[in-house]
Amino acid sequence: MKSESIVNRFKGRRIIIVGDPVADQFLSGTIARVSREAPVFILRHEETLTRPGGAANAAANIASLGGHPLLVGLVGRDREGDLLSAALREAGVNTDYLVTSDKIRTTTKLRVLAGQQFAVRQQVIRIDYEPDQDSTGSLAEIITKRIEDLAPSAEAIIFSDYGYGSATTEIFPIARDISKKYSIPITVDSRFRLGDLRGATAATPNLEEARRLMDSEEFRSLFARDVSYKAVSDGSSSLISEGEVNLLRKFLQTEALLVTLGPQGILIARENAENAVKLDAVGPKEPVDVTGAGDTVIAAFTLALSAGSDFLSAARIANHAGGIVVMKKGTAVVNGYELATSLSASEVGQHHSATGEI
């Protein structure tokens, strides 16, 4: 099946996203003068935008690509929660399944962008507001109940763990067992504890997350003799070899493992394939903004699996989605037309290369 045909089947696919919704805020302004109080610039505020971040960004990408996202996560009963919910609704995401509580605050990442008038704004600082982890545990039962209620009509589950209490190691086994019960794929992305979330259909760590796992004592005790630390390309020791990706897939007990390599592309290992496959990055080598790119990748990858794609084709689709979104400013989404156009151009180019046509 051609990649374009798979994208055309995204429409209406019901995907549960269990994870940490984040209010990504962008405060921008112009530098007015130097303060007399301290040697710092005074920023004249122009606007503050709120966009769906974290698991909410994955949900927004599902919606933009034509799917039907079912977002389950914790949001505070506060101003940032209201702004995030409004941004989600504007993006086409139903907010009925969010768990709202006055016991927690909405996870918020405020980026301050500064510059002269008519010049490109540069990020000068990021301020994070995080929920109290002790307060989120009591809400886990509500989250699992919502997963159970939504699963019979769902076609895949995304488990998006940013470490803020919505997607915990206690909730994951329940979500994984539910996915098996209904024979639907479950994909996992976790910032810090992917090693505790084993047995998913697939996982999508970035290079830093993959390296952190491989440096763990447990991984080294199991695979120390097999780890070569030979780079996939360009001789850089910071990359990861095809053999190492296969070992990491075995360690995580997944059917597939997709490691994003930034400007180097994507590396995917599959259970029934001896060799991992490296996919070169799509588009320019210098991204405009990588904020939220991993959310776009897992959204496109999971949608493709739900539409009947094999792992390699799903990885190609996700690679194109990631290549498109990093050329956009801020937390952004990819739509179906952009993705289909990029895939079509790539397939035409491959055909011309194979036939010698110009």
Domains, the chain, ordered by start: 3-33+43-353 (3.40.1190.20)
138-176 burial, b if ≥16 CB within 10 A, otherwise e? ebbeebbebbeebbeebbbbbbbbbbbbbbbeebbebbb
Q: Is the dihedral of CA 343, 255, 67, 25 positive or negative?
A: negative
Instruction: Exactly one of 20, 161, 189, 295 is catalytic; name it.
Output: 295
Residues 6+ apart with CB under 8 A from 348: none
For residue 3, give the nearest of 320, 353, 357, 349 by alpha carbon. 320
227-246 in b/e burial notation, b at 16+ Cβ within 10 A?
Answer: beeeebeeeeeebbbbbbbb
CA distances from 326 to 244, 286, 322 (A): 26, 9, 6
Least confident among 65-74, 120-129, 283-292: 283-292
Alpha carbon of residue 357 to chain centroid? 37
Full-model pTM: 0.91
Average pLDDT over residues 203-224: 91
Nearest-CA neighbor of 302 among 4, 21, 14? 14
Q: Which of 241, 299, 297, 233 is nearest to 264 (CA)?
A: 233
* Burial environment of residue 250 by CB neighbours within 10 A (0 to 12, 13 to 18, 19 or more): middle
**Contact 41/35 with Cβ under 8 angstroms?**
yes
Coil, strand, or helix at residue 120? coil
At position 237, the amino acid (one-letter code) is S
Q: Is 295 a catalytic residue?
A: yes
Taking Cα atoms as reference points, which of 182, 233, 222 lies closest to residue 198?
222
Supply the pLDDT for residue 227.
58
- Lowest average pLDDT, out of 80-84, 168-172, 173-177, 272-276, goes to 272-276
Using pLDDT thresholds of 50, 70 and 90, give the confidence band for residue 225: low
Range 82-99 average pLDDT:
98
SS3 call for 132: coil
Section 297-324 average pLDDT: 97
